[in-house]
Each structure stands twice: as C-alpha cells, then as structure tokens.
C-alpha cells in the first residue's frame, strides 16, 4: 500500500472525534498530491459529505472560478480541510475535533510538501496561523512558517454571503499566483 492509500484508509476508519457519528463520507482531499500549493478550508459541507470530495458545492464552484481566472488549476493545488468529517448543520468544528483531526493534515502536508499554504477562512487561520488572529486584519498578508509561505484569505462561502469581498480574495490569490511564478 502507498503512503497515500494508508492515510486514506486511516481517515476512512477514523472514529477519533464525535463527527464520525453523523458523517456519510470522510472527505480527505482532492487535486494534485505533488502540487506546490495546499489550500485548507474548514470542514466538508453537505455536498462534500455526500460525495466524499472537498469543495464541490456552491463555495467550491466559486473558488474554482476564481482560481481558473488566475490560471490556477487542479495541477497547481491540493485542497483539504481542517476536519475531514462534516460538522452537523455546517457548524464550526470544536477545538477537540480540530485537534483530533490535525495529525491527518500533518500527514497530508508531509506527503504533498507544498511551498505555499493558503488558509481559506477563519477556522484554517485559527489552527494554522494564530488562534487570536482576525481574518479581516490578517488576510492578504504573507506569513512565513519554517520556510513555507502561508497566505490567509477569506473562505469562498464568505464571498457568497458578501460579494464585496470578491476583489479582496482575488487580490490575495493573485499574490499566491505571483509568489508561485517567482519560485519557478
Ligand atoms: N467548505 C469548506 O470549508 N470545505 C469544503 O470542503 C466545502 C465547504
Ligand atoms: Fe476522525 Fe477527523 Fe473524522 Fe474526527 S473529523 S472522526 S478526527 S477523520
């Protein structure tokens, strides 16, 4: 079995937190497992839970449009979430759930070896960058963690609720595109 197959199997069987009770599918990740960019969201929504694939509902489609407009496709990124099982009614994951699930995200990071991480929204910012950071204050500002560039930006679902955030997220992702180019 490859390391990826092992990881997927571990996640599929996982019962380390309460979220396993209500999930239909464990949602591990999608995209290029050797991509230079890793995008991290919050947790699977309804469609993701049904299909077992992250970011395929309305927020995911909006994210795809935004990324495609910057010529970023699935070959450029791997996308996953802080928790791999859907929180009931899409509530925010608890600390207990996020920390229980963190080893899988670490394994994904170790296998993908991204140069850039994009935190999509407050939950990813909280667990990847800083528990106390405010998304509105920190977004768009590059962070560096052990030689990895980390870009905090909005969650695409926030753009669905408030379209005035679209140009800001576009600008953040344009910085990601430019950083990627500068590394080639
Ligand atoms: N929102 C997320 O944070 N992740 C998904 O996979 C879908 C919606
Ligand atoms: Fe396991 Fe993570 Fe699912 Fe909780 S959310 S059951 S830790 S895979």
- CA atoms of 172 and 32, how far apart (whole Å): 21
Given ligand 1 and candidates 30, 50, 52, 54, which is best to mutate, with the most ligand atoms within 8 Å of its CB? Answer: 54
C-alpha 142 – ligand 1 centre gap (Å): 22
How many structural domains does the chain have?
Answer: 1
> Is 2 domain-assigned?
no
pLDDT in tens, the chain (184 residues): 999 999 999 999 999 999 999 999 999 999 999 999 999 999 999 999 999 999 999 999 999 999 999 999 999 999 999 999 999 999 999 999 999 999 999 999 999 999 999 999 999 999 999 999 999 999 999 999 999 999 999 999 999 999 999 999 999 999 999 999 999 8
Tell me, yes or no, whether 165 lies in a domain.
yes
Residue 137 to residue 152: CA distance in whole angstroms: 10
3-state helix, strand, coil in the chain (%, to 5): 50, 15, 35
Pocket of ligand 2 (CB under 6 A): 11, 14-17, 19-20, 26, 83-85, 97, 100-101
Residue 152 is assigned to a structural domain of this protein: yes
Containing domain of residue 57, as a range?
Answer: 14-183
In a domain, 5, yes or no: no
The domain that holds 140 is classified in CATH as 3.40.470.10
Angstrom distance (rounded) from CA 85 to CA 93: 10
pTM, 2 dp: 0.98
């Amino acid at each position: 079995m490859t390391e990826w197959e092992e990881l997927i199997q571990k996640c599929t069987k996982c019962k380390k937190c309460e979220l396993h009770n209500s999930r239909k599918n464990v949602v591990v990740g999608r995209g290029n497992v050797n991509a230079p960019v890793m995008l991290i969201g919050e947790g699977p929504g309804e469609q993701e839970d049904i299909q077992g694939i992250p970011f395929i509902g309305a927020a995911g489609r909006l994210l795809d449009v935004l990324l495609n407009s910057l010529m970023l496709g699935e070959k450029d990124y791997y996308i996953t979430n802080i928790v791999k099982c859907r929180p009931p009614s899409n509530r925010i994951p608890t600390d207990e759930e996020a920390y229980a699930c963190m080893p899988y995200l670490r394994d994904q990071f170790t296998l993908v070896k991204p140069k850039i991480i994009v935190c999509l929204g407050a939950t990813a910012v909280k667990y990847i960058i800083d528990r106390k950071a405010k998304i509105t204050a920190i977004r768009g500002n590059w962070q560096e963690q052990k030689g990895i560039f980390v870009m905090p930006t909005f969650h695409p679902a926030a753009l669905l609720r408030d379209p005035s955030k679209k140009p800001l997220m576009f600008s953040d992702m344009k910085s990601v595109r430019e950083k990627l180019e500068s590394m080639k």
